[in-house]
Structure 1
Amino acid sequence: MKELYSQYKIPLFFSIAIIAMYAAFAYDLERYDFIRLFSLYAALFFLSYKLIQFNHGNFKFLLFAGILFRLIFLFALPNLSQDFYRFIWDGRLIANFVNPYLFTPNEYLLNGSTYLSQAEDLVEGMGTLSAGNFSNYPPINQLFFAAAGLFSGISILGSVIVFRIIILAADVGIFFIGRKLLIGIGKDPKHIFWYFLNPFILIELTGNLHFEGAMLFFLLASIYALMKNKWWISAILMGISVSIKLLPLLFLPILFNFFVNTKNNRNLLKQGMRLISYYIVVFLCIAVTFLPFLSGEFLQNYSATVALWFQKFEFNASIYYLLRWLGFQLVGWNTIAVLGKILPILVFISILLLSILRKNNSVKTLFTAMLLSIFCYFSLATTVHPWYVATPLLLSIFTEYRFAYIWSFVVFFSYSAYAKDGFQENYWLITLEYLIVFLFAFAEFFPRTKQKIVTQYKHYVYK
């Protein structure tokens, strides 16, 4: 017993400290208290790093710790995001066989409908922005919401617990599939802990109930199936991933070189047909999930709502904010309506170039191309909520790049926008956030250039 205590003394100390801080984060923190929020987050980041560093070889202990840390949030209502109220709303509508895409929550209240319990509480909780817009969550995500609607009755906390169990299960799935993928591409499997024990993941997914983890689980499972040469299973899993969050649609062009070897002219037609078949299965899977909700009104509402993310909403952006500022200087008003149309085209062209010019012919290179494409997309996006960074963070584990780890820390600067008496982004902190991220990314993307700069700097300083 003494030897066991001696062996686990340091990990246990760190674990107890982390548990106490997660409890404080979950049950005793207000979003507007930014100094306390970021101080707790920084301490969690440091302690989690040391926990992995001191005990990285003990997979069972760290897996148990990761699950235990998530269970701390089980009975807490999210305190950094109010999106879960909309999740509950949509889920209860589906549980009552009502299509959640056909009217906004405000329209529901104006119509005087009575079949949704706690309707006014949910609308108040989700806020005016969500209540005034149609649902933009894809069908499989709605299925998770419906599970809470079916099993939690009229309990908001009960719905939260259902969501947390789903998200926790997805993270455990990511742990096991991610470990297999790391071994398959010749990387140290312990790297999965930089996702699984990252406080960013625990707080934004388990704590704040965002379903990026569920989307990423099916995305990883899809890539694992590709590694095992089961392309049709991969296509189905990719379709499910898209039907949770639309984001994986960005990765479909990158699969071109994985399926098609342009140097092998003999099998070129066969390879092309397999790629086309893959895409067909993906989109058929997506279509099947949307089928129960399909109508002309749904298509109109859903497309209009998705367009809002490009042409109306703004939060924690980088390059877009610079272009917006430039627009104010040149024309005197916010040019988001124009930029919101141009920037997605630039993203699409960039991803096409990544698909054509890079040799994405292995799972390892595929991960790198996916990371670069998502980084390009978020760099040009008008809205980058903190939980969005979960995708580049997970993808980076399978590559040589580590800037997303830094991003998962500094993205919490964006929470400075929430004050007790209103909302106002701190552009100095946003500038600092992206300056750090872009500097680290540049140093990793262009190591030779970085070395030249460092050498010239030392020469200048010490000459």
Structure 2
Amino acid sequence: MTHSYKHKKTTLAYILVSCILYVWFAYFTARTDALQVVLLYGILFVLGYYILKAFGFYISNSLGKGYRVLALVSVLFRILLLFAIPNLSQDFYRFIWDGQMLLEGFNPYLYKPDNVILWNTSISSAQELYDGMGKLSASHFTNYPPLNQLCFVLGNLFPGKTILTSVIGMRLIIIAADIGTLYFGKKILEVLKLPSNRIFWYILNPFIIIELTGNLHFEGVMIFFLVWSLYLLHKGYWKWAAVIYACSISVKLIPLMFLPLFFGWFLSTSSRTTLSTSSRTTNSTSLSNQKNSQRKWISYAESKGLFAFAGITKLIVFYTIVGITLIVFFLPFFSIEFVDNYSKTVALWFNNFEFNASIYYILRAIGYSLTGYNEIGFIGKILPVIPVLFILGFSFLKTNNSIPKLSNSFLLVLTIYLFFSTTVHPWYIASLVILCVFTNYRYPLIWSAVIILSYLSYLGIGTADKAENLWIIALEYTIVFLVFTWEVILKKRLPIL
């Protein structure tokens, strides 16, 4: 009894100290406070680990008391950040700008802030938003998909019409999305007979709380739709899964790269569905006749390629539903000018921008030594080819016939994509964190802990003019690559079947 009392007191202390540190981080820390950022972040990770460890026993009990407490704690941590202006990213200024452009009746895909600021003053706090987003964002067209734009509009509708009230409105959307991810993520783990406490590797992860809720990155909304879609897919509602999957793409474009990976899913599920139908139609016969009938039907179906035909037909319908849903989302903004602006803006991320890269920086250094100047224009066109080859290989050579296997393919494909990207902002790895929940791989959790080092390099620690410190980036990726190599190559850990 005494041990249990002390255990509860210790756990409560972990939670209270975490609350204080989240408040300290959100309201009293600037991203230029390098040491403070790293220390608070690191301590929050340690406390998060001990909170999960303390509740490890109670989560598995039949009453689910520990699960409910952790769910409330994770929401509490997010609510504490509700009134804070994001301190590690300035992207939210552009989010508010785009939302206000739409509310004023302008298509945000057709106008750069640089131009709008010269002739339109009806946007609330226009100059402050323009200055806050920075020259890089202000000089380019928006690249945020339509459903993300809707989130910006809804955030701006929050009463008050100030930058803070818009931040609160958007933050409530992200918090609601995380609660949705908690709900559907838990359901997926339960139907797969996996420990439901795994979902807290994402929900209670300080990286997720700080980057998504704190810094207002809408990967959390994209992930909510992705997890919901996977749940519907597992339950057999694949047409609705396609609609929800399109919603995920319409928040962030990343899920587009996963579409080819559904090839193995639909071929295998068509086989299972056909077998199930065959079994139901022979229930009236004897067991022996039923087995013989099934063997004949399987042999006939395989010889005629019926399983493959049915699977490919479903796959085409799935893609068609995704495509139509996306067209519906983009249609209100559509014009030839929109297509031109949007495609050029997205292409910039491959050919012009560079931040916190890994393999690209090595190739860039080689390019400098050979030619004497930055070869991003050439390297940026070549690097995407490698992830494409991996996507094709995982689509046609792997049997993605279960949620863990499909998640495993999603995880590895996205990892390879990020390894070969020219730009890897911290919030990009949020998708890796949620996907690893459904597999045996844990390297995304390590990456989420060391990703804070990218902010130090951005601050220019030990360099002039706030240039990236390549030694800090090298440290980050050395840790990530070592864990990745151990888990994926040396230990050969497979996804849970």
TM range (shorter): over 0.9
Contact 1:192 1:397 in 2 (8 A): yes
Q: 1:94 aligns with which of 93, 102, 113?
A: 102
**1:147-167 per-position Cα deviation (integer Å, ceiling 9, x unaligned):** 122334531000000011000
Contact 1:88 1:145 in 2 (8 A): yes
Change (3 A) 1:319 1:44: same
Q: Secondary structure at the match of 2:157?
A: helix
Alignment of 1:215-230 (within 5 A): 215-230=222-237
Equivalent residue number for residue 302 of structure 1: 342
Equivalent residue number for residue 383 of structure 1: 423
Alignment-mate amino acid for residue 287 of structure 1: I
CA distance in 1, matches of 2:51, 2:439: 22
Equivalent residue number for residue 198 of structure 2: 191
**1:386-434 per-position Cα deviation (integer Å, ceiling 9, x unaligned):** 0111000110111000000000011110001225995311111111111
Q: CA deviation at 1:43?
A: 0.4
Q: TM-score, normalised by structure 1?
A: 0.94
Q: Secondary structure at the match of 1:423?
A: coil
Q: Secondary structure at the match of 1:103?
A: coil
Equivalent residue number for residue 72 of structure 1: 80
Alignment of 1:132-143 (within 5 A): 132-143=139-150
Contact 1:136 1:302 in 2 (8 A): yes
Matched, 1:313 2:353: yes
Matched, 1:291 2:331: yes
Contact 1:94 1:149 in 2 (8 A): no
Alignment of 1:335-374 (within 5 A): 335-374=375-414
Equivalent residue number for residue 374 of structure 2: 334
Contact 1:118 1:154 in 2 (8 A): no
Q: Secondary structure at the match of 2:208?
A: helix
Equivalent residue number for residue 282 of structure 2: none
Contact 1:235 1:281 in 2 (8 A): yes
Alignment of 1:142-221 (within 5 A): 142-221=149-228
Equivalent residue number for residue 294 of structure 2: none
Q: Which moved more, 1:112-121 or 1:24-33?
A: 112-121
CA distance in 2, matches of 1:149, 1:449: 48
Change (3 A) 1:159 1:203: same
Taking only the aligned residue pairs, the percentage that are identical comes to 46
Equivalent residue number for residue 438 of structure 1: 481
**1:152-185 per-position Cα deviation (integer Å, ceiling 9, x unaligned):** 4531000000011000001111111111111222
Q: 1:84 aligns with which of 71, 89, 92?
A: 92
CA distance in 1, matches of 2:47, 2:380: 40
CA distance in 2, matches of 1:173, 1:46: 26
Q: CA deviation at 1:3?
A: 9.9
Matched, 1:105 2:113: yes
Equivalent residue number for residue 424 of structure 1: 467
Contact 1:253 1:352 in 2 (8 A): yes
Alignment-mate amino acid for residue 192 of structure 2: I
CA distance in 2, matches of 1:272, 1:321: 40
Q: CA deviation at 1:186?
A: 2.5
Change (3 A) 1:14 1:371: same
Equivalent residue number for residue 67 of structure 2: 59
Two-structure CA RMSD over aligned residues (Å): 1.8
Change (3 A) 1:308 1:49: same
Which stretches in structure 1 are left out of the alignment for 5+ residues? 451-463
Q: CA deviation at 1:448?
A: 4.6
Which stretches in structure 2 are left out of the alignment for 5+ residues? 60-65, 272-301
Q: CA deviation at 1:357?
A: 1.0
Equivalent residue number for residue 121 of structure 1: 128
Equivalent residue number for residue 30 of structure 2: 30
Contact 1:328 1:335 in 2 (8 A): yes
CA distance in 2, matches of 1:401, 1:125: 38
Q: CA deviation at 1:284?
A: 0.8
Contact 2:124 2:161 in 1 (8 A): yes
Contact 1:222 1:235 in 2 (8 A): yes
Alignment-mate amino acid for residue 106 of structure 1: D
Q: CA deviation at 1:377?
A: 0.5
CA distance in 2, matches of 1:102, 1:122: 18
Q: CA deviation at 1:322?
A: 0.6
Q: Which moved more, 1:342-351 or 1:363-372?
A: 342-351
Alignment-mate amino acid for residue 21 of structure 1: L
Alignment-mate amino acid for residue 37 of structure 1: V
Q: Secondary structure at the match of 1:446?
A: helix
- Larger-gyration structure (1/2): 2
Equivalent residue number for residue 137 of structure 2: 130
**1:207-262 per-position Cα deviation (integer Å, ceiling 9, x unaligned):** 00000010000000111011001110000000000000000001101100001249
Q: Which moved more, 1:17-26 or 1:263-272?
A: 263-272
Q: Which moved more, 1:68-77 or 1:4-13?
A: 4-13
Contact 1:32 1:419 in 2 (8 A): no
CA distance in 2, matches of 1:137, 1:372: 25
Contact 1:254 1:355 in 2 (8 A): yes
